[in-house]
Structure 1
Amino acid sequence: MQPTLLILAAGMASRYGSLKQIQQFGPSGETIIDYSIYDAIRAGFGKIVFIIRENFADDFKEIFEPKLKGKVETAYVFQDMDSFTGAHAIPADRTKPWGTAHAVLCAKDAINEPFAVINADDFYGREAFEKMAQFLTSKCNENTYSVVGYELGNTVSEYGSVSRGVCQVDAQGNLASIVERTKIFVEDGKIVYEDGDAKVELSPKTNVSMNFWGFAPSVFPISEKMFDQFLTDNISNPKSEFFIPIVVDQFIAGNLGVVNVIPTSSQWFGVTYKEDAPGVQASLSALVNKGEYPDNLWK
């Protein structure tokens, strides 16, 4: 059975204002998502599931359906504020979506096979998709998940702070723990994160997650249970988010299974800030010139 790729795109409209001007980086107007899907198809993924917001579903399909028709199966899932909230009453001041782990949970009815999760606006590299496809088809099961581990030094922006899942890896190459650090930045040539009022230095070689995960469908009932507890504890905090690392950390701590760390030398790049865009464009042009990608992905 071919694995599925789940793309987290529900936050895109808020960043771009509207999808009509979704950012084009490739020589033929390709978006970063186009490169991820292209890499996924050639690595052996059989289905693409997009997590989006219902109010821009039509715009989204208009962009991607003509390109992908006949090349790969597609499905669309909506991340709604009240999905999986059960008996919990959502406070009136809650406007922020519930976070990445909730977005994954919203795909529960669309996925029955091992699957990978990625962000819509991160470029992960061909090798990362090939290694993930290999894991999903040969090693993934209900108690063996995975994450692609990038070197922190390859994933920071010179224009501001970034959020990364900082990984502790054990002697067997499995994830020992992961903590979401929401403010990592470069200061005086060093990489640091803010922890309250303190600044803590991190090595550029630190393993970090860029939200490229490999899961079995067993993650859905596990997440659902954890989300219920998360709401019990956090529903009155309008900024609280149910992140994938929360689920993974509890999966490991509860001895429910292991998470293999898949190392990659792929250079990550993405658009956290609009100033990142020219660099992304230049990096993609260089890959096209080297023959890694055709100059028109879908023709």
Structure 2
Amino acid sequence: MKPTLLILAAGMGSRYGGIKQMDSFGPSGETIIDYSIYDAIRSGFGKIVFIIREDFAEAFKNIFESKLKGKVETDYVMQEMDSFTNGFKPSVERTKPWGTAHAVLCAKDAINEPFAVINADDFYGRDAFEKAAKFLREEVSPQTWCIIGYQLAKTLSENGTVSRGVCQVDENGNLMSIAERVKIYPEGNKIIYEENDAKTELPSDTPVSMNFWCFHQNAFDYIQQLFKKFLEENGYKPKAEFFIPIVGDAFIKEKIGQIKVIETSSQWFGVTYKEDAPGVKQSIQALIESGAYPKKLWD
């Protein structure tokens, strides 16, 4: 059975200033998602599931359906604030859904096989997809998940702060803990994260998650249990988010299983801010010139 790729494309793009999931970065109008799908298909993924929002669903489908038809199976799932909440009523200040782990949960009825999860606005590289596909074919189980790990210094933006899942890894390459740091940036020769008005330095080779996770399909039931608990404890907070690292951390601490950290040689780049776009276009052009991708991706 071929694994599925779940693409989280429902984000608001508040820092970017638009719906970056549909912006063109390749020379023939390709989005960043196109390159992820291209790498996924040639690495052995058999289905693509998109998490999107109803307000841009038609425009999104118009971009991807025609180019992917006949190349890979596709499905679309909506992430809405009331999805999988069982009637829970948030505060009136709540304006958006509950975060990345909630987005994954929204795909529960669309996926019945091992699957990987990625962001729509991150370029992950072919090596990452090949390693993920191999893990999902050969190693994944209800007790064994993985993340694709990147070096922190290779994942920063020159144009502002970034959020990263900062990993602690044991001597066997298994994840000990993961913590979402939402304000990371370079300061001189150092890399800093801020939390509660305090600054903490992080080593440049710290392994971080770029939200490239590999799960057994049984993970949905566990995520749903944690989401129920999350709503009970945090649902009244207007900006509380149910991140994937919350799920990973609980999976380890409750001793349900292990999460392997599989390091990739791929260079990450992405579009957190509008100012990131020219650099992403240049990076893609360099990869095309090196022969890594064709000039027209879907010809």
Q: Provide the residue aligned with 2:163 in structure 1.
A: 163
1:69 aligns with 2:65: no
Query: Where do residues 42-191 of structure 1 align in structure 2 (5 Å cutoff)?
Result: 42-191=42-191
Which runs of 5 or more residues in structure 2 are unaligned? none
Work out whether residues 17 and 273 of structure 2, in 8 Å CA contact, stay in contact via their aligned partners in 1. Answer: no
Counterpart of 1:132, as a letter, is: A
Q: Provide the residue aligned with 2:216 in structure 1.
A: 216
Aligned partners of 1:90 and 1:53: how far apart in 2?
19
Q: 1:252 to 1:266 in 2, by over 3 A?
A: same
Counterpart of 1:101, as a letter, is: A
Which runs of 5 or more residues in structure 1 are unaligned? none
Deviation digits for residues 168-221 of structure 1 (CA, Å, limit 9, x no counterpart): 001110100000000000112210001212110011100000000000111111
Work out whether residues 168 and 207 of structure 1, in 8 Å CA contact, stay in contact via their aligned partners in 2. Answer: yes
SS at match of 2:102: helix
Aligned partners of 1:62 and 1:111: how far apart in 2?
23
SS at match of 2:61: helix
Work out whether residues 6 and 118 of structure 1, in 8 Å CA contact, stay in contact via their aligned partners in 2. Answer: yes
SS at match of 1:27: coil
Q: Provide the residue aligned with 1:228 in structure 2.
A: 228
Query: Where do residues 34-45 of structure 1 align in structure 2 (5 Å cutoff)?
Result: 34-45=34-45
Work out whether residues 82 and 90 of structure 1, in 8 Å CA contact, stay in contact via their aligned partners in 2. Answer: no
Work out whether residues 176 and 252 of structure 1, in 8 Å CA contact, stay in contact via their aligned partners in 2. Answer: yes
Q: Provide the residue aligned with 1:289 in structure 2.
A: 289
The alignment of Structure 1 onto Structure 2 pairs a total of residues equal to 298
SS at match of 2:212: strand
Aligned partners of 2:174 and 2:160: how far apart in 1?
30
Q: 1:50 to 1:96 in 2, by over 3 A?
A: same
Aligned partners of 1:210 and 1:275: how far apart in 2?
20
SS at match of 2:248: helix
Q: Percent identity?
A: 65
- Residue 22 of structure 1 and its aligned partner are, at CA, apart by 2.8
Q: 1:12 to 1:34 in 2, by over 3 A?
A: farther
Deviant stretches of 4+, over 4 Å = 12-16
State TM-score, norm by structure 1: 0.97
Work out whether residues 166 and 179 of structure 1, in 8 Å CA contact, stay in contact via their aligned partners in 2. Answer: yes
- Residue 140 of structure 1 and its aligned partner are, at CA, apart by 0.4
Aligned partners of 2:87 and 2:77: how far apart in 1?
22
Work out whether residues 22 and 60 of structure 2, in 8 Å CA contact, stay in contact via their aligned partners in 1. Answer: no
Which sits farther off after the overlay, 137-146 or 10-19? 10-19
Counterpart of 1:121, as a letter, is: D
Work out whether residues 99 and 243 of structure 1, in 8 Å CA contact, stay in contact via their aligned partners in 2. Answer: yes
Q: Provide the residue aligned with 2:197 in structure 1.
A: 197
State TM-score, norm by structure 2: 0.97
